Amino acid sequence: MFNPLDFTGRRFLVTGASSGIGEATAVLLGRLGGQVVLAGRDLNRLNHAIAAVPGGGHSVSSFDLGDTDAIPGWVAKLAADGPFHGVAHCAGLQTLRPLKSAGAAFVEEMLRVNIGASLAMGRAIRQRNVAAKPASLVLISSTAGMTGQPGNVVYNATKGAIIAAVKGMALELVRDDIRVNAVAPALVRTPMSEKSMKIWSPEQLQAVLAIHPMGFGTAEDVANAIIFLLSDMARWITGTTVVVDGGYTAQ
């Protein structure tokens, strides 16, 4: 039976795979038959995450994606074991900080980790023998890149930059038979978001929930969209951002 989501024999790199959206994506890829390299900074957490990925042939790679200039070389080494049919770049940094407190060091770090690493991943995947033909690169934006949020301006800027960047990257990488897209989640319950929720009052939590018509999402909800963009079902889709927000931006 034909299954357009059968990833048997295909190899994928998932960054930020030790938790949240990255981990959920790695698990789903494994369920669909793909081989996954799970990447992140914390080797112990990666080893815990890989245990939940079905199938075999998976591996982990500990790497600090803040070292953007080293990303192409790192990815090339990983591809020595076989080219990647897709990359889901789920790693990122989210820190709430009012604009008045956003000094140069904070802004530089947010830009480097959130947009700089994304651009470097585009440089990495187009290297010789790194990507299978065809291949797909999926980045993580956010509805924060489409709407204003006081106290979150720098994060807003980095995620808006990804929405713009995938358009240009898609046009550059199409000659390499590589599609480039993004997903833009609203508030999703992950270890990262749970940290923010802990400091909210019950009233604040209810107010945020009220602006998500379908409630808060899960990491699996976003992983489903990533899997679609990695699959052949999206073979004629590039340069776009898929919003996964439970109706948040429909208001």
Phi, psi of 244 (to 5 degrees): -125, 85
What CA–CA distance (Å, rounded) separates 32 from 235?
18
Q: What is the residue whose two structure tokens read 């200039």? A: 69
What CA–CA distance (Å, rounded) separates 186 from 241?
13
Phi, psi of 107 (to 5 degrees): -60, -45
Write the burial class of residue 44 (CB in 10 Å: 0-12 exposed, 13-18 middle, 19+ buried): exposed
Closest by Cα among 61, 162, 153, 164 to 121: 162
Task: Respond yes or no: is residue 248 known to be catalytic.
Answer: no
* Residue 70 CA from chain centroid, whole number: 19
**Coil vs helix vs strand at 87:** strand
- Options 155, 182, 225, 234, the catalytic residue: 155
What CA–CA distance (Å, rounded) separates 11 from 58?
9
Measured CA to CA in angstroms, residue 169 lies from 69, 133, 181, 222 at distances of 18, 17, 9, 22
Residues marked active site are found at 155
